[in-house]
C-alpha cells in the first residue's frame, strides 16, 4: 500500500465517526470524537510514535530526535455540523503518514504529531481549544462560562469525557523547546483549483472576531398590537444583519457572517421578544477588522435606541491576523520546486490552529486544492494524490530544517 492508498483508507475510516450520515458531524467531547481519537492513536502507534491524549483532548504522537527541541506537525480532528471528510482531519492523516515514512530515519529535532481538539468552535462558539490551551489562554472561569446549546459548559463536557480541566495548566508549551509548527490543510476555497496548481503556500491568515448578540424587546399579541407600539426584536435583528453585510463590503477582502439565529418565543402570532444571533467577522488587515467591528456595534446601538430595545454582546473569540514565517515559506517553496510540483502563494480566509500558534512559534501552512472550492459541506473533497504531494513537500522541508545551520547552536 502506497501513501495515496493509506491516506484514502484513513480518511474513509475516519468519516464513519460522525453523528450524522449527511456529511461529517464530529463535535468535541462526544462519542464520535472519542472513536476518532482511538483510531488516530492506533495509526500513530503503527507509525512508531509514542502516543498520548492530553488534558485538552488533543492526541499526540512523538518520535524522539537527537535534540528534545520539537518540530510539530498537525491539524484538528473535529468538524462542523454536516461538514466534510477532509477539513482538518486530512492534515492529521498527512502528519501521521509523514511520521510513518520517517520511521527509521535519524532526526535531529524531535518530531511531534498532534490532532488538535475543537478548532472549529461549533459546539461552544469559541474555537482553537487545544491550540489556545497550549498557549495558556484558558482558565477555569472561562471553561465554566462557555456553554453549548444544551447548556453544558466546556468544563462539564471535559469532565464527562474523562478529562481533568484543572490539568490544562500542565500542557502549556515551553516555547523555547519548539523549533516550528507546520500544518497541512485543504484550501476550502476555489483559488488553487482555478489556478490549476498542486499546492498553495500560505502567506497569512485572517484575524477573526466571533460574537453572540442578543436583542431584547417585548412579546405582544401579533394581531392587537399596532405597528407603531411594538418593540419587535426580530425587526431590529433583521436591520442589523442587513447592515452587517453592507459593513463587510466596505473593506476589501473582509467578510462577515451571521450563521445562527434563534427567535423567542418562536410562535407565528407573537411579536418576537428576543433574538439571539451569531456574528463572525474576518479580515487579513487588522485596521479593517477593527473598523468593521466598530461600524457594526455602533449601528446596533443606534437601532436599539431608536426602537427602545436593549441588547447584550458576548465575545466568543478574538484572534488577530497573522503572517506565516518567511524562512519556512521559502523552505516549502524550494521543496515544491525540487519535486517538480506547481504552487501559488495566497492568504487564508479560514481560521486554523496555525493562527494563534504563529504568535509564539515560527509557523507555516501548506494548502491542498479543494474540489469546486467547497468546504464545510458533504461535497468537500481533495484529491489524495495532492495530499500525498503535500506529505512529500513537508518531508523534504523537515529534512532541510534538520540540516540547517543553526543546529550547530543546538549542539553547543
What are the structural domains, with CATH classification, of the chain? 3-206+321-411 (3.40.630.10), 207-319 (3.30.70.360)
Residue pLDDT tens, the chain, 412 long: 899 999 999 999 999 999 999 999 999 999 999 999 999 999 999 999 999 999 999 999 999 999 999 999 999 999 999 999 999 999 999 999 999 999 999 999 999 999 999 999 999 988 999 999 999 999 999 999 999 999 999 999 999 999 999 999 999 999 999 999 999 999 999 999 999 999 999 999 999 999 999 999 999 999 999 999 999 999 999 999 999 999 999 999 899 999 999 999 999 999 999 999 999 999 999 999 999 999 999 999 999 999 999 999 999 999 999 999 999 999 999 999 999 999 999 999 998 999 999 999 999 999 999 999 999 999 999 999 999 999 999 999 999 999 875 554 554 3
Task: Please report, to the nearest 10 degrees, the dihedral formed by the alpha carbons of residues 34, 40, 43, 45 taken in order.
Answer: -80
Of 186, 207, 118, give the one whose Cα is nearest residue 376: 186
Q: Give whole-number Cα distances, 262 to 193, 258, 279, in Å.
A: 36, 11, 13
Annotated binding site for Zn(2+): 76, 87, 120, 185, 376
- Cell triple for 272: 418576537
Within 10 Å of residue 136's Cβ, how many Cβ atoms? 13
Reported as half-sphere exposure (CB side, CA atoms, 13 A), residue 134 has a value of: 30
Contact 386, 199 (CB under 8 A): yes
| pTM assigned to the model | 0.88
- Residue whose grid cell is 453585510: 245
Q: What does the DSSP 8-state code read for residue 24?
A: B
Annotated binding site for allantoate: 210, 269, 282
Question: With b meaning 16 or more CB within 10 Å and e meaning fewer, what string describes 252-280?
Answer: eebebebeeeebbeeeeeebbbbbbbbbb
Of 175, 118, 113, 202, give the one whose Cα is nearest residue 357: 175
- Cell triple for 73: 506537525
Q: Of all helices (H) and strands (E), which one includes residue 79?
A: none
Distance, in Å, from the CA atom of 108 to the CA atom of 96, rounded to the nearest integer, reads 18
Class of residue 359 by CB neighbours under 10 A (exposed 0-12, middle 13-18, buried 19+): exposed
Annotated binding site: 76, 87, 120, 185, 210, 269, 282, 376
Amino acid at each position: 500500500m502506497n501513501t495515496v492508498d493509506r491516506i484514502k483508507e484513513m480518511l474513509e475510516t475516519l468519516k464513519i465517526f460522525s453523528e450524522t450520515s449527511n456529511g461529517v458531524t464530529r463535535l468535541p467531547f462526544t462519542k464520535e470524537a472519542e472513536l476518532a481519537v482511538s483510531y488516530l492513536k492506533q495509526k500513530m502507534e503503527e507509525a512508531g510514535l509514542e502516543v498520548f491524549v492530553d488534558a485538552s483532548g488533543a492526541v499526540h504522537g512523538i518520535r524522539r530526535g537527537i535534540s528534545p527541541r520539537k518540530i510539530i506537525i498537525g491539524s484538528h480532528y473535529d468538524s462542523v455540523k454536516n461538514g466534510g471528510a477532509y477539513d482538518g482531519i486530512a492534515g492529521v492523516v498527512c502528519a501521521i503518514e509523514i511520521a510513518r515514512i520517517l520511521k527509521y530515519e535519524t532526526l535531529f529535532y524531535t518530531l511531534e504529531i498532534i490532532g488538535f481538539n475543537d478548532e472549529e468552535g461549533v459546539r461552544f462558539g469559541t474555537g482553537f481549544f487545544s491550540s489556545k490551551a497550549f498557549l495558556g489562554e484558558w482558565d477555569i472561569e472561562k471553561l465554566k462560562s462557555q456553554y453549548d446549546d444544551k447548556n453544558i459548559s466546556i468544563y462539564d463536557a471535559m469532565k464527562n469525557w474523562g478529562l481533568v480541566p484543572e490539568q490544562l495548566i500542565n500542557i502549556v508549551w515551553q516555547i523555547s523547546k519548539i523549533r516550528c509548527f507546520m500544518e497541512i490543510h485543504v484550501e476550502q476555497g476555489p483559488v488553487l483549483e482555478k489556478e490549476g496548481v498542486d499546492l498553495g503556500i500560505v502567506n497569512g491568515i485572517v484575524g477573526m472576531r466571533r460574537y453572540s448578540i442578543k436583542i431584547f424587546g417585548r412579546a405582544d399579541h401579533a394581531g392587537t398590537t399596532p405597528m407603531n407600539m411594538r418593540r419587535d426584536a426580530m425587526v431590529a435583528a433583521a436591520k442589523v444583519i442587513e447592515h452587517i453585510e453592507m459593513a463587510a463590503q466596505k473593506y476589501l477582502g473582509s467578510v462577515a457572517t451571521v450563521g445562527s439565529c434563534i427567535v423567542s418565543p418562536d410562535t407565528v402570532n407573537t411579536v418576537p421578544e428576543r433574538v439571539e444571533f451569531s456574528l463572525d467577522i474576518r479580515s487579513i488587515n487588522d485596521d479593517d477588522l477593527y473598523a468593521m467591528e466598530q461600524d457594526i456595534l455602533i449601528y446596533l446601538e443606534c437601532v436599539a435606541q431608536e426602537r427602545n430595545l436593549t441588547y447584550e454582546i458576548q465575545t466568543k473569540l478574538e484572534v488577530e491576523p497573522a503572517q506565516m514565517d518567511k524562512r519556512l515559506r521559502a523552505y516549502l517553496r524550494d521543496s515544491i520546486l525540487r519535486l517538480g510540483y506547481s504552487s501559488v502563494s495566497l492568504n487564508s480566509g479560514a481560521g486554523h490552529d496555525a493562527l494563534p500558534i504563529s504568535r509564539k512559534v515560527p509557523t507555516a501552512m501548506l494548502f491542498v486544492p479543494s474540489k469546486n472550492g467547497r468546504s464545510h459541506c458533504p461535497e468537500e473533497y481533495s484529491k489524495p494524490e495532492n495530499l500525498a504531494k503535500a506529505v512529500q513537500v513537508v518531508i523534504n522541508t523537515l529534512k532541510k530544517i534538520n540540516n540547517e545551520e543553526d543546529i550547530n547552536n543546538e549542539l553547543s
